[in-house]
Amino acid sequence: MSVMTVYGDSISGNCHKVKFVAERLNLPFRWVETSVLKKETRTPEFLALNPVGQVPFVMLADGRGLAQSNAIMLHLAHGSTLIPDEPYERALMMQWLFWEQYSHETVIAVRRFHRHYLKKADSEIEPSLLPRGEKVLTLMNDHLANRAYFVGELLTLADIALVAYTRFSHQAGFDLKQWPQVRAWVARVEKDLGVESALP
């Protein structure tokens, strides 16, 4: 029997999202390590799979391919409690997924990559990423002041998408002790997902 193949980089939060959802839902998969730093996303073989040249990319068991972490999560989690049934709650979950890609990942993940992986000094990193990251974390902290999860009462894809890079905030230069609700939520979601905490 063929299983889904996940092309992913172990250092990538976007790729972790796919792994977290597949493991949570007991979906069998094969992981093919595809390193961004080693430019394995730019080989002719990989570009033939995903012309965008990015991971995560999945080849479903039936041979159809899919890219974009949040699209992959939506496909894998169809019919599960990770996607609320109620239309308004489902739309709220989507609201956070879009925000994550446009306003969160582009700040926290990018700053982490430059600081932690490319080993750049803070002075060499785009200066606006620092205040933008603080704003992102403050918005999340305020939202979590009176709730355990981003949408409704249960863990949803919104939490999985947002936790993927928030748990590595320290590597991006943000100390989550300044945003205690966010820190507590990260620990809660990591526990729900059964993953070892990345929090320092």
Ligand X SMILES: N[C@@H](CCC(=O)N[C@@H](CS)C(=O)NCC(=O)O)C(=O)O
Residue 70 or 141: the one with the smaller Cβ distance to ligand X is 70
Q: Which stretch binds ligand X (CB under 6 A): 64-72, 84-92, 128-136, 168-176?
A: 64-72
Residues 33-62 that bind ligand X (CB under 6 A): 36, 41, 53-56
| Binding of residue 8 to ligand X (CB under 6 A) | no
Residue 34 or 181: the one with the smaller Cβ distance to ligand X is 34
ω before 44 within 30° of 0 (cis)? no
| Binding of residue 166 to ligand X (CB under 6 A) | no
Could you tell me the smallest distance in angstroms from the CB atom of residue 9 to ligand X?
6
Could you tell me the smallest distance in angstroms from the CB atom of residue 158 to ligand X?
14
Q: Cβ neighbours of residue 138 under 8 Å, at least 6 residues apart?
A: 179
Residues 47 and 50: their CA atoms lie apart, in Å, by 5
**Strands 4-8, 57-59: pairing kind:** antiparallel
Residues 133 and 169: their CA atoms lie apart, in Å, by 9
39 CA to centre of own chain: 21
Could you tell me the smallest distance in angstroms from the CB atom of residue 175 to ligand X?
23
Query: Do residues 54 and 41 touch, judged by C-beta distance below 8 A?
Result: yes
Residue 88 or 117: the one with the smaller Cβ distance to ligand X is 117
The pattern of x and - marking residues 86 through 125 that bind ligand X according to CB under 6 A reads ---------------x------------------------
Beta bridge pairs of residue 31: 6
Q: Which of 4, 6, 7, 12 binds ligand X (CB under 6 A)?
A: 12
Residues 59 and 161: their CA atoms lie apart, in Å, by 20
Coil vs helix vs strand at 153? coil
**57 burial via Cβ count (<10 Å: 0-12, 13-18, 19+):** buried
Q: Which stretch binds ligand X (CB under 6 A): 9-17, 24-32, 140-148, 178-186?
A: 9-17
How many chain residues are in contact with ligand X, going by CB under 6 A? 13
Number of Cβ within 10 Å of residue 107's Cβ equals: 24
Could you tell me the smallest distance in angstroms from the CB atom of residue 145 to ligand X?
28
Q: List residues binding ligand X (CB under 6 A).
A: 9, 12, 14, 36, 41, 53-56, 68-70, 101
